[in-house]
Amino acid sequence: MSALRPVDHHTRLQLNHHLEKIEAAFDADIITIVSPILYGLDAVVKRAVEMFETRRRRVAVVLDTPGGIVEVVERMVTTLRHHYEEVYFIIPDRAMSAGTVFAMAGDKIFMSYFSSLGPIDPQVEKDGRLVPALAYLVQFQRLCTKAANNTLNTAEFALLNKLDLGELHQFEQARELSQELLIDWLSRYKFKDWTVHSSSGNVVTEDDRKNRAKEIAASLSNNERWHSHGRGISRETLVGEMRLKIDELEGIENLNPSLDDYFGLLKDYMAREQHSSFVHSRLYF
């Protein structure tokens, strides 16, 4: 603490003041991740989690992310599940793409009317930047269909020849891994307490949980349905259209204004200090 600048020290005290109230509201340790999901983030989260010498049985992750690399998500889930019996996700703003896959590893997901998840469009590194894999796969399929119908123009023919088959395979693998993880985590964690069909009264089987998870994975991966990698999917859509249980942040007693004040202060601090990535707990800053 003594190594921090006065402004950092003051910000940390203010953040922890709000965080204590959020932890009490959820009866959970809180880990906050405001960051693109890139290589190295998993190691930072591991360090933050391991700083808790005495842990509650539950952790709640305050998550805000534009998405990123799903392999990093898998490692973060491994860390959280190793140390905690229950994992909650709190989405005050957005958790897109790989962030959506991350949230689906929770026993519960908490959102407000303003919060959003996103389509599962895994990102892969290409020429030093992250690109959405499904966009390339959809374009490749479109060009292949036109080639089969002999309707390719010269520009499209040149574009098809430039596509790297090795990269396309990498994109396909990223898509399949995202869906595989989402199906596994939904059926194992989110659906674990789903035991009886509300319509028929029949007992819910493991196959029922898997099949329901596959439906959600297929819907979230439907590029034709969502059109844009960055399109937000609201709580209302997740609950009403996709029939996915989402808990309401507004229904948590003694949570606000602490959560809003905490998240706003953290985002302001990140903007002022020009931090693009931040992980925080009451012990990690």
> What are the structural domains, with CATH classification, of the chain?
6-280 (3.90.226.10)
Q: What's the whole-number mean pLDDT along residues 41-48?
A: 99
pLDDT number for residue 121: 81
Pair of tokens at residue 42 = 């998993």
Residue pair 195/203 in contact by the 8 Å Cβ criterion:
yes
DSSP letter, residue 53: S
- How many beta carbons lie within 10 A of that of residue 192, not counting itself? 11
Residue 32 has pLDDT above 50, yes or no: yes
pLDDT number for residue 257: 96
In tens, the pLDDT along 65-94 reads: 999 999 999 999 999 999 999 999 999 999
In tens, the pLDDT along 194-209 reads: 988 888 889 999 999 9
Residue 2 has pLDDT above 60, yes or no: no
pLDDT number for residue 165: 77
The alpha carbon dihedral of 254, 259, 260, 262 has a sign of positive
- Least trusted range by pLDDT, from 33-37, 100-104, 118-122, 176-180: 118-122
What average pLDDT does the chain have? 92
- How many beta carbons lie within 10 A of that of residue 274, not counting itself? 6
Write out the DSSP string of 69-138: -HHHHHHHHHHHHHH-SEEEEEESSEE-THHHHHHTTSSEEEE-TT-EE-----EEEETTEEEEHHHHHH
In tens, the pLDDT along 246-261 reads: 999 999 999 999 999 9
DSSP letter, residue 251: G
pLDDT number for residue 65: 98
Residue 139 has pLDDT above 90, yes or no: no
For the entire predicted model, the pTM comes to 0.90
Question: Amino acid letter at 73?
Answer: V
pLDDT number for residue 269: 98
Residue pair 79/48 in contact by the 8 Å Cβ criterion:
no
Higher pLDDT, 176 or 161: 176
Residue 133 has pLDDT above 80, yes or no: no
Pair of tokens at residue 164 = 């790297």
Report the percent of the chain where pLDDT is more than 90.
72
Residue pair 41/32 in contact by the 8 Å Cβ criterion:
no
- 228 — pLDDT class (breaks 50, 70, 90): low
- 1 — pLDDT class (breaks 50, 70, 90): very low
- How many beta carbons lie within 10 A of that of residue 140, not counting itself? 18
pLDDT number for residue 152: 84
Q: What's the whole-number mean pLDDT along residues 105-129?
A: 89
Q: What's the whole-number mean pLDDT along residues 97-119?
A: 97
Residue 177 has pLDDT above 80, yes or no: yes
